[in-house]
Structure 1
Amino acid sequence: MGDGGWVAEMSGNKFTAWASCGWKLVYINGKLSSLYTPDNRRFDWIRSGDKVTEIREGGTTKLTARWNNDSTVLQSLEFNGRTIKFIRGEKPRIQNIAGKNLIVAVDQSMVELTSASGVPLRDYSFQTDPNLNPIFKNGSRIITWDIKTRTIISDGQWKYSIQPGPDPLANAAIQRTNSKGENEFWHNDTQKGIETVQGVNGIRKTTTRFASGKFAGLTRNIKIGGDAFESIRELYSYNEDGKLLRKQFNDINGRPLGSFTLVESGISNPALPFDSTKKSASDIEIKAEIGNRHATYRLDPRTGILNIVWNDSEPITKN
């Protein structure tokens, strides 16, 4: 039994896998041959050589794939009384050689999807800008790439500035500017444990996480602000096992607004505050302090409902 409740069997060139939810997959010589659904429907993949030509359910063809004469190019798919045709066109192959962009060849690529009557469903085109950087057009959307750095230059109204990280595995810092001069920014420095996100409104969110050790990836604090101000809006505390104990909320000036304290009872992996999807716990309590008021949130693992009790009121139930 593997991850997700799968079990498999190998017999000669046949590989069969079953899922606990009822799905079954059969592979012959490493290629999908049959699929069985939980309600016992069976679909078979019919091939000519290495190419799939039909998918059948019983003796009924559900999908037909038509190829060119040498079976190298898929020309159309037919299913549910519909036909989708794939039209190919020219795509320039560009390389940066000795610092110059050059078109070294012209390849064939899909440029249009059409219905049986010839009505375009999708259209694509491949062009170049004045510097011979590749342009991909998808309908009205135009994307330009830098062939030397292999990074995006523009996407519609957005122009990109991308600063690569210090090593190949590091995230690049990405800033983009729209036609109104508004900026967006994202960078996640995993070595320092700092992720920065800024929207067009100029508001910046900085999330600081533990960068190493057994707490690696856990949030330490979240700051919100802009160029003129920044304050810590959320603070997190953990026990020695890395389980969340306390989450504190601050106002725009960094002053405490309230906090939530997790009280464990028979749980090995407690849910975060307000996470009603974790229903395996026998009991979860969250102590809340909001202003000068106190409340207790208890998660019912059978229903996933948080039962809220204020110190000065009757129980309140919220989903």
Structure 2
Amino acid sequence: MALCDEDVCIKNLKPVDYKRKISAFVDLTRIKPFLKWAGGKGQLLSEIEKYYPFAGGEITKYAEPFVGGGAVLFDILNKYEVQDVYISDINSELINTYLVIRDKVNSLIDTLLQMQSEYLPLDEESRKKSYLERRTRFNFLKVNYNDILNVEKAALLIFLNKTCFNGLYRVNKKGLFNVPKGAYKSPLICDEKNLHAISEKLNNAVIVCGDYKESWSFIDKKTFVYIDPPYRPLTDTANFTAYTEYLFGDKEQIRLARFARELTEKGAKIVVSNSDPKNSNCNDNFFEKLYSGYRINRVEASRMINCNGEARGKIRELLISNF
């Protein structure tokens, strides 16, 4: 399976002939993530927003090359009129969903409403069967790419996220989604109002499936860049980086830091998030060495997704900036 299919990977602008009917009740001033995403930054927005550099008018562009669930992206779009936006991720199913929301939101909503109407009335045993059938279908579409079915694949991703265990996105080494069904009684599978609003906000965004380095040509001295890579694990047994079948180890963290320095030389303002190794080893100075000369701020966060409920709690994370 190719990492990214060309038709899905790079579609810079919404088709000019695409017409959408936006319901009169839609509030276009507020949007929120359409997926629950491990490592999502919703709880840290009050800290991250302290770095937003848009007030002075010199920064007019925003880039997020590990967009994930988009909590920071949507917070910025709620608060500022940013001229140009670039988002990307290596997860092709995730990026396909962003593209479908931007370009084909009505078809997506129709599909989700159908899934919701079929799923919610079922008893528990029937729900489990329905969930597993749709998980199998989603994995089939992951392996057997067909851009004609992009809307269905996006709808299946959202359906699975709303109904799976803990809203977790995880794949095995073959890249197949393998999360079991969750226990939600009345999941909101189709948030029609929010999807319409997101589609409008992303109207002219550049959306790319690919490596973070592909953002290079977009980023300049007028750009604020938020970089939220897969976190460095705090322990050898805590290595949850399985958003794709591709791992992100120390070598990748080092390459990313080098890329951040290159962007700094271009004049971009950058904030990088990561785990704080000192949670488990007070002598671990990995990021202090890697980002020498940068400002490193430690902030408190909660473990929101963990298979062991007793392991959830407050930990420190890093916000690393070049300004």
* Higher percent of residues as helix: 2
Query: Which bin holds the TM-score, normalised by the shorter protein?
Result: under 0.3
Tell which has more relative contact order, 1 or 2 (C-alpha 8 A, sep 6+). Answer: 2
TM-score normalised over the length of structure 1: 0.18
* Higher percent of residues as strand: 1
TM-score normalised over the length of structure 2: 0.18
